[in-house]
Amino acid sequence: MDALTDTNVIINSIEAVTEWRGLWAFLIGMVGSVAYFTVVYFGFVGSGKESRDLILGYFWGKNGRTTLAKVAWYSLVGGLIAGVFQLAERAFVPVQSFILGATWPSIVGQLLSGRQSGLPPGGPLGDKGITPDTSKLEEDKAARVAREATDLLAEPGQTPQGGQPTPGP
């Protein structure tokens, strides 16, 4: 049964490539990603300015403005993910590709969190939302923020006042 499924996926993949479905899915996925970015950029979604800035912050460069390179990178990944999901389909699924392109960060996040956690949900501490996994995530987040803060303090014209000495390049 599994072998049959695997064979079907391989056949679908070959067909997807030869019939250019994969390429179309890739392009539509990119359109989905750009559409999502546009909607956030103009503030049509989100509970307020803060949530909008939080999302757009990931697209900012060092000057505090949105960089086209990051938008292109985001869209490229959205397109690639849409293309990968198309490989498992026998028919061309443009709507799925568009939705995947628009929502790929949450889909990837769900896939990763579902596979990385070896702990059963709702264990003795799990129902309190506290597990070694979340602890590790919090530590990683703190380390990332520490790096960002150090970088910001080291921006040209800014002399760190007290605190940790700024590491060299």
* Among positions 64, 114, 121, 168, the unique one binding another protein when judged by CB under 8 A: 64
Contact between 123 and another protein per CB under 8 A: yes
Question: Among the residues of the chain, which ranges form H helices?
Answer: 2-18, 21-41, 49-56, 68-87, 94-116, 132-153
- Judged by CB under 8 A, the stretch of 72-80, 90-98, 109-117, 147-155 that binds another protein is 147-155
Contact between 60 and another protein per CB under 8 A: yes
| Tokens read off for 164 | 């940790």
For residues 49 and 58, is the Cβ–Cβ distance under 8 A? no
Contact between 50 and another protein per CB under 8 A: yes
Between CA 72 and CA 74 the distance in angstroms is 5
Interacting residues of 91 by C-beta distance below 8 A, sequence separation 6+:
none
Interacting residues of 148 by C-beta distance below 8 A, sequence separation 6+:
none
| Tokens read off for 130 | 């506290």
* Among positions 53, 67, 69, 90, the unique one binding another protein when judged by CB under 8 A: 53
- Judged by CB under 8 A, the stretch of 17-25, 79-87, 97-105, 157-165 that binds another protein is 157-165
* Among positions 48, 114, 121, 129, the unique one binding another protein when judged by CB under 8 A: 129
* Among positions 10, 18, 146, 156, the unique one binding another protein when judged by CB under 8 A: 146
Distances (CA, A) of 37 to 102, 109, 151, 159, 161: 8, 18, 26, 35, 37
- Judged by CB under 8 A, the stretch of 11-19, 27-35, 83-91, 140-148 that binds another protein is 140-148
For residues 86 and 92, is the Cβ–Cβ distance under 8 A? yes
Contact between 144 and another protein per CB under 8 A: yes
Q: What does the binding site for another protein look like in residue numbers (CB under 8 A)? A: 50, 53-54, 57-58, 60, 63-64, 119, 123-125, 128-132, 134-136, 138-139, 141-146, 148-150, 152-153, 155, 158, 160-164
